[in-house]
Amino acid sequence: MSEINLPGLTTLRRIELETLYRVGEILSRSLDFRHSSREILRALDEQAGMSRSMVSVLDPESGDLVVHAVNGSEEEGHESVRYQAGEGLLGLILEEKSTLALPRLGDEPRFLNRLGLYDRRLAFIAAPISLGGNLHGVLAVQPNAPDDGLLAERTRFVEMVASLIGQSIRLSLDVEREKKTLADERDSLRRTVRHQYGFDNIVGRSAPMRRVFDQVRMVSKWNTTVLLRGETGTGKELIANAIHYHSPRSNGAYVRLNCASLPENLLESELFGHEKGAFTGAVASRRGRFESADGGTIFLDEIGEISPAFQAKLLRVLQEGELERVGGSRTVKVDVRVIAATHRDLEAAVDAGEFREDLYYRLNVMPIVLPALRDRMEDVPDLAHFLAGRIGELQGRRLSLTEGAIRRLSQYSWPGNVRELENCLERASVMSESGTIEADLILIDRYREVGANSSIAPQASGFDNVPMRSATPVPFAAGALADNDLDERSRVISALEQAGWVQARAARILGMTPRQIAYRILTLNIEVKKI
């Protein structure tokens, strides 16, 4: 056993202490394990006199040790160097999981020198990087000078550095695991959102809808401002969703606002934000919808309802890409794609002076007109089946439509468009105990045949809020039923008396279904006579 050089030991421990402090600083600054490893090896070189150093990590799939970082090398090629259990000195550590300290490397026949890094005349120290008793890698170093009798002290120091690296690996693995979990959740949500708001959620095979799909696919690729035109209930919001989620901005924010839902003073604050103290109740500064949508898309529904004064403020954002918060003077730059929608005739509004012409042209860069449902009646069967499936999912059961129900739906012009169709089907599903929607469950508020100009069915009275069947009623017979002053109960009783208390016949007289007249008999507490 060689004598210990006490002055040299004191100096060495001071150097090691300073190096450990620097290693701790490096590990506290970053969770990027590759970057931290290189910084640690550089510190061992500059402060501890160990210029030949390397970190290898365990490949969990193969179980091999893979070279991860080499001092002085920024190249990635060394990652192809691997050691299996029992192969070379590193493979020996992988197998035995214990520190290896050699006074002279050249005396060890198992040394492979695959990297061509180490000097055979010098000492060699390799310590396992362990975590919870499991080996995760190896720290291998070589002092720059021949052994001076302090190999054991240096070995203890290398083991402490390896222990610190092990703690860093724990944090790095936790962070990577969390990142992967978040990335998986993000990708899953993104797939769900793309499916929910994509083309699969827009039903239509008619020529007008195919034209709309073609326009949406083309415009989605660019940042062009889009103006969606069409009647209420034609699906303008669905088209706006599809444009955003199939655009290069799909990873950015998607912000929506119905401009008709807020008064002008609140609309300005909602869109542009406000500064603290800008008005009563503004206790803190707040970003507006445009700032929230920076880098993404904003959908402004019912754009035709904003006032001329606010139109001028909106025009500045569209032209210059900048705004000022309410109560503020600082100009805020935003990069936002605008999709607007309206059911109004903007051209007539411009002629009437109700809508600014310059704003109209700024919005109307790429107009997309959504057809009314009456103009694409061939889509009604597919739409009905799709909507019934969606309603069934919400109700936790399977809904189906009979052929008669589909024919009944296809005979109505749907002035309320898809929204009215969905409401009709939801009402029918509520009344269906079996989950099968038959024709007599299709209750329409106002019957209008396709191509007709006026309602031809009487409206149900408001006592039960259930509309009458939309079939053409049999004209009332003369006598009591012709009296328009009769209340609902008296009319039903009169019809039953005229029909000999046969409910199906009375239903035809009143233009109802048998199910509806049975409901009225129950709710109006009519005692049925047997004849």
CATH number at residue 443: 1.10.8.60
Q: Does residue 164 lie in a domain region?
A: yes
Shared domain for 427 and 488, answered yes or no, is no
Shared domain for 305 and 389, answered yes or no, is no
How many other β-carbons are positioned within 10 Å of the β-carbon of residue 397? 12
Sequence-distant (≥ 6) Cβ neighbours of residue 96 within 8 angstroms: none
Report d(CA 36, CA 41) in Å as an integer: 9
Shared domain for 73 and 212, answered yes or no, is no
Per-residue pLDDT of the chain (531 residues; tens, 9 = 90+): 445 566 678 888 899 899 898 888 888 887 777 788 888 998 998 888 888 888 888 887 888 888 888 886 655 556 678 888 888 888 888 888 889 999 998 888 888 888 888 888 999 999 998 877 788 889 999 998 888 888 999 999 999 999 888 877 777 767 777 877 787 776 666 666 566 666 666 888 899 999 999 999 999 999 999 999 999 999 999 999 999 988 999 889 999 999 988 887 788 889 998 888 877 777 788 889 999 999 999 999 999 999 888 899 899 899 989 898 888 888 899 999 999 999 999 999 999 999 999 999 999 999 999 999 999 999 999 999 999 999 999 999 999 999 999 999 998 989 989 999 999 999 999 999 999 999 989 887 555 445 443 333 333 333 333 333 333 333 333 344 555 556 788 888 888 888 888 888 888 888 887 777 887 887 777 887 765
For residue 475, what is the domain's CATH number? 1.10.10.60
For residue 48, what is the domain's CATH number? 3.30.450.40
> Three-state DSSP class for 17?
helix
Domain boundary among 371, 398, 427: 371
Q: Does residue 180 lie in a domain region?
A: no
C-alpha torsion sign, points 428, 431, 437, 440? negative
Shared domain for 117 and 158, answered yes or no, is yes
Closest CA to 238 of 377, 375, 419, 381: 419
Shared domain for 145 and 253, answered yes or no, is no
Shared domain for 433 and 466, answered yes or no, is no
Is-contact 4 150, C-beta < 8 A?
Answer: yes
Shared domain for 437 and 362, answered yes or no, is no
Shared domain for 37 and 158, answered yes or no, is yes
Shared domain for 475 and 408, answered yes or no, is no
Residue ranges of E strands in 320-449: 322-324, 331-333, 337-342, 366-369, 400-401, 436-437
Report d(CA 118, CA 143) in Å as an integer: 10
Q: Does residue 120 lie in a domain region?
A: yes
Q: Does residue 1 lie in a domain region?
A: no
Domain boundary among 399, 429, 456: 456
Shared domain for 444 and 502, answered yes or no, is no
Q: Write the DSSP assignment of 72-120 as a string of letters.
A: TB--SGGGG-EE-TTSHHHHHHHHH-S-EEES-GGG-TT---TTS---T
> What is the domain range of residue 468?
458-531
Shared domain for 409 and 422, answered yes or no, is yes
Q: Does residue 181 lie in a domain region?
A: no
Q: Does residue 194 lie in a domain region?
A: no
Q: Does residue 429 lie in a domain region?
A: yes
For residue 352, what is the domain's CATH number? 3.40.50.300
Shared domain for 225 and 361, answered yes or no, is yes
Q: How many domains are contained in the chain?
A: 4
pLDDT tens by residue, 326-382: 888 888 999 999 999 999 999 999 999 999 999 999 999 999 999 999 999 999 999
Q: Does residue 114 lie in a domain region?
A: yes
Sequence-distant (≥ 6) Cβ neighbours of residue 21 within 8 angstroms: none
